[in-house]
Amino acid sequence: MVDMNSASDQPLLVAEELGKSYGRLAACRDVSFVLYPGEVLAIVGESGSGKSTLLQMLSAQLAPSAGRVSYRMRDGVLRSLADLGEAERRFLFRTDWGYVHQDPAQGLRMAVSAGANVGERLMAIGWNNYGRIRQTASSWLQRVEIDAARIDDAPRTYSGGMRQRLQIARNLVTEPRLVFMDEPTGGLDVSVQARLLDLMRSLVNELGLAAIVVTHDLAVARLLSHRVMVMKEGRVIETGLTDQVLDDPREPYTQLLVSSILPP
């Protein structure tokens, strides 16, 4: 489990009785929790449990049917995401937030160079010195274990693991305060997953990031998170410190999940 050295007593993100319904189908119901700066929360459950729907609501990509999400802005004010204008939400994604997709192609521009993918985030926050942008992009490629000599290569020439590491560099180069991760190791070979997890844990610790990680892989939750929320049929059925939940689960469903009886 990662160390939490930069946590604050003021919440960074607050979810209050969140729900999302599609007609009679409730994809997510009555989810409430608080996330603090520097804290990593894992949301786990089998396919269809509602965890991805929840992540989309938390990251303002999906409007909730009920409840609200509030985020503490850099001026210290806790604001409801529903009250933010579209320009303010885009600004959050350029500065304070990152989003790591399971499929790197969703988070990268595949036709432009790796350096341009990283540099675009810097330009979005006002950087305009080409030499400084390229130097910083090169430095970040090395931090995520990509040879800087490949800075001008397009991501479509990269392996799956390299694309995911590039997506991480693109998201973290602006030093966001909160990163959303949707099955960040899904679809990768086991050996590639292990290296990527070690890298993510190191960067989260080093930068003091808060993160919300959606995963069906309990090894990911154990390695990265401080707390775990277990979801079933759209509801949170168990939550607590990661080691506590995974080593001594209370709910029968969580016990099955930990025993790997349930499918991913």
- pLDDT score for 259: 87
Give tens-digit pLDDT for 177-219. 999 999 998 878 888 888 898 999 899 889 999 999 999 889 8
- DSSP-derived 3-state class of residue 212: strand
The model's pTM is 0.92
Whether residue 110 lies inside any domain: the answer is no
CATH of the domain at 235: 3.40.50.300
- What is each CA distance from 45 to 59, 108, 175, 234, in whole angstroms? 19, 27, 29, 10
Q: Which of 164, 134, 168 is nearest to 151 (CA)?
A: 134
Residue 24 makes CB contacts below 8 A (sequence gap 6+) with: none
- Given a cut of 80, whether residue 3 has pLDDT beyond it is no
Q: What range defines the domain where residue 90 resides?
A: 1-96+215-264
- DSSP-derived 3-state class of residue 69: strand
- pLDDT score for 261: 55
Number of domains into which the chain is organized? 1
Whether residue 186 lies inside any domain: the answer is no
Whether residue 254 lies inside any domain: the answer is yes
Whether residue 155 lies inside any domain: the answer is no
* Lookup: tokens for 4: 């939490």
Among residues of the chain, what percentage have pLDDT more than 90?
A: 80
Give tens-digit pLDDT for 106-141. 999 999 999 999 999 999 999 999 999 999 999 999
Instruction: Calculate mean pLDDT across residues 36-54.
Output: 94
Whether residue 128 lies inside any domain: the answer is no
* Lookup: tokens for 164: 């995911």
- DSSP-derived 3-state class of residue 181: strand
Task: Give burial (CB, 10 Å; 0-12/13-18/19+) of 32.
Answer: exposed
Whether residue 137 lies inside any domain: the answer is no
pLDDT interval class at 9 (50, 70, 90): confident
The residue type found at 88 is: E
- Given a cut of 90, whether residue 234 has pLDDT beyond it is yes
Task: Give burial (CB, 10 Å; 0-12/13-18/19+) of 74.
Answer: exposed
Contact indicator for 175, 139 with CB cutoff of 8 Å: no
Whether residue 85 lies inside any domain: the answer is yes
Instruction: Calculate mean pLDDT across residues 37-58.
Output: 95
Contact indicator for 154, 112 with CB cutoff of 8 Å: yes
- Given a cut of 90, whether residue 5 has pLDDT beyond it is no
Whether residue 207 lies inside any domain: the answer is no
- pLDDT score for 64: 97
- pLDDT score for 8: 60
* Lookup: tokens for 249: 């689960």
Q: Which of 125, 69, 56 is nearest to 95 (CA)?
A: 125
- pLDDT score for 6: 43
Distance CA 251, CA 243 (A): 15
- DSSP-derived 3-state class of residue 7: coil
Instruction: Calculate mean pLDDT across residues 90-109.
Output: 93
